[in-house]
Amino acid sequence: MNEFLGSGTTVLLVGIVAVSFLQGIWRGASGSAAGLVGFAAGTLFTLGSLVLAAWTAAWASPRVHDWLAARDWQRPLPEASFAAHLVYTLVTGLRDLPLLRFAILFWIAYPLIRTAVGMIGGVIVKIGALPLRLLPSGGLIGRSAGGVLGAALGVARATLAAVLLYGYCALFPQGPFTDDIESSEPYRWMADRIIRPAAGHFIETRLPVLSGALQEELRELWQRRYEVIDADIPPDVAEAALAITAGLEDDEAKARALYRWIGTRIAYDHEKARAYEERGEWREQTPEDTFRTRKGVCIDYARLYAVMARAAGLEARVVTGLGSDGRGGFGPHAWNEVYLQERDAWVPLDPTWAQAGDWFNPPDFDVTHIRQA
């Protein structure tokens, strides 16, 4: 018995059934039957609404993309307001990231559809459940029948909870609660006999892929936050960027000139890095701070490069992830990507490492830099 109840998941699932059983006794046969019918109807309404919302989002997504793509969304000027830069980032993210666009449309459609289905279906269920009022509510028979129906409702609720737990285990196989969940006997019974035969393949294989793809798109949108944070380009930084790129015609020449300038003018701030690594102390600084003090860590190099590139008329973005430490390991790092019109491509560069070699779009860049949030 102790082993059976040793898992927190087991306690949760058994507790759901036990509480529903007690509710059933309290409500009697009439109330419990109505609750069971209501739960079943609500589950069907929710599943149906999810399907309809997914279909609606799939239908609307390409149309929203075409509408956004047909409009010329110009990057706001450096002196534009914070709100203008924020709107530009969100709109272009919605245009360029299909899974994110689908998810947003889905969550707009679902509550509207679920509300409509619930209102219409609720009336039908109430009318259909009228005969259930004839069932006894009190007495031994009524209470006993209510307990049986309540237990049935509890099993249905516990199964739904097990489905959610199954999804968690599929998404986070090394998660902090996965071992406890998978050690539960009731959970394993439901997983083996109900969930896996019905939808296990989709949950185990497709759900992690979809979740991973959506997370990747959210990471890309998150990378764009510096376009909003550093939207205002200080005059001295803009003046320097224009002076550095003066007389250069193509994008690559301008991008390389800024890369060399930052790589040779900005010193790595080892004291700031140690304060963060050893004591968890982080000193935030703006691109103007980096330009003025001529020192910073990798994120400061990357933010300054992005700002100076935009001042020179280039499209550039900050990328965060992991960088090689030269000893076989990786640590948190930041670098840039710049768009070159003549190549019609984004190319990577690492101004922090400029003094250690040519890190402007080298062939092995992806070996030493792992892009992530």
Q: 90-137, pLDDT tens digit by residue?
A: 787 777 777 778 778 888 998 999 888 888 877 776 776 656 555 556
Q: 259 or 278, which is more confident?
A: 259
State the average pLDDT over residues 185-208: 71
pLDDT of residue 80: 65
| Range list of β-strands (E), the chain | 267-268, 295-296, 315-324, 330-340, 345-349, 369-371
Does residue 42 register a pLDDT over 80?
A: no
Specify which residues 267 forms β-bridges with: 295
pLDDT of residue 136: 55
Q: Which amino acid is at 313?
A: G
* Cβ atoms 137, 28 nearer than 8 A: yes
pLDDT of residue 207: 54
* Cβ atoms 300, 290 nearer than 8 A: yes
Q: What domains can be seen in the chain, in order of their start residue?
A: 8-225 (no CATH), 233-371 (3.10.620.30)
Does residue 259 register a pLDDT over 90?
A: yes
Instruction: Return the DSSP state at 357.
Output: S
Least confident of 138-152, 179-193, 206-220, 249-263: 206-220
Does residue 199 register a pLDDT over 70?
A: no
Does residue 316 register a pLDDT over 70?
A: yes
State the average pLDDT over residues 301-313: 93
State the average pLDDT over residues 157-184: 80
Does residue 153 register a pLDDT over 80?
A: no
Buried b (16+ CB within 10 A) or exposed e, 295-312: bbbbbbbbbbbbbbbbbb
Does residue 267 register a pLDDT over 70?
A: yes
Six-digit token string for 184: 């539960």
Q: 280 or 146, which is more confident?
A: 280
pLDDT of residue 340: 93
Please state the φ and ψ torsions of residue 345, each to the nearest 5 degrees. -155, 155
Query: Where does the pLDDT of residue 9 fall: very low under 50, low under 70, confident under 90, or very high at 90 and above?
Result: confident
Instruction: Return the DSSP state at 250.
Output: S
| Range list of β-strands (E), 243-350 | 267-268, 295-296, 315-324, 330-340, 345-349
Does residue 264 register a pLDDT over 80?
A: yes
Residue with tokens 């390409």: 62
How far is it, in rounded angstroms, from Cα 371 to Cα 373?
A: 7
Q: Mean pLDDT score of the chain, rounded to an integer?
A: 80
How far is it, in rounded angstroms, from Cα 66 to Cα 101?
A: 12
Query: Where does the pLDDT of residue 209 fall: very low under 50, low under 70, confident under 90, or very high at 90 and above?
Result: low
Query: Where does the pLDDT of residue 3 fall: very low under 50, low under 70, confident under 90, or very high at 90 and above?
Result: very low
How far is it, in rounded angstroms, from Cα 317 to Cα 307?
A: 9
State the average pLDDT over residues 31-60: 78
Q: 75 or 185, which is more confident?
A: 185
pLDDT of residue 312: 92
Question: Cα dist. 228→7, 75, 76, 140, 306 in Å?
Answer: 46, 11, 10, 68, 12
pLDDT of residue 365: 92
Does residue 37 register a pLDDT over 80?
A: no
How far is it, in rounded angstroms, from Cα 287 to Cα 290?
A: 5
How far is it, in rounded angstroms, from Cα 174 to Cα 169?
A: 8
Please state, for a pLDDT cut of 70, what percent of the chain lies above it.
Answer: 79
All residues at 6 or more sequence positions from 28 whose CB lies less than 8 Å from its CB, including other chains: 135, 136, 137, 138, 142, 143, 145, 146
State the average pLDDT over residues 304-333: 88
Dihedral Cα 111, 115, 121, 127, nearest 10 deg: 150
Does residue 84 register a pLDDT over 50?
A: yes
Least confident of 56-65, 124-133, 189-198: 124-133
pLDDT of residue 1: 43
105-111, Cβ contacts within 8 angstroms, sequence gap of 24 or more:
105/56, 105/57, 105/60, 105/61, 105/64, 106/53, 106/54, 106/56, 106/57, 109/52, 109/53, 109/56, 109/57, 109/60, 110/49, 110/50, 110/53
pLDDT of residue 243: 95
Question: Cα dist. 152→59, 66, 186, 187, 333 in Å?
Answer: 38, 49, 15, 17, 54
Query: Considering only CA atoms, which of 316, 292, 291, 293 is closest in space to residue 304?
Result: 291
Query: Where does the pLDDT of residue 210 fall: very low under 50, low under 70, confident under 90, or very high at 90 and above?
Result: low
Q: Kind of pairing, strands 295-296 and 267-268?
A: parallel
Does residue 87 register a pLDDT over 90?
A: no
Residue 284 sits at the vertex; the CA angle it makes with 310 and 93, to the nearest 5 degrees, is 45
Query: Where does the pLDDT of residue 142 fall: very low under 50, low under 70, confident under 90, or very high at 90 and above?
Result: low
* Cβ atoms 57, 109 nearer than 8 A: yes
Query: Considering only CA atoms, which of 166, 162, 177, 158 is closest in space to residue 205?
Result: 166
Its pTM stands at 0.54
**Total residues belonging to the chain:** 373
Specify which residues 295 forms β-bridges with: 267
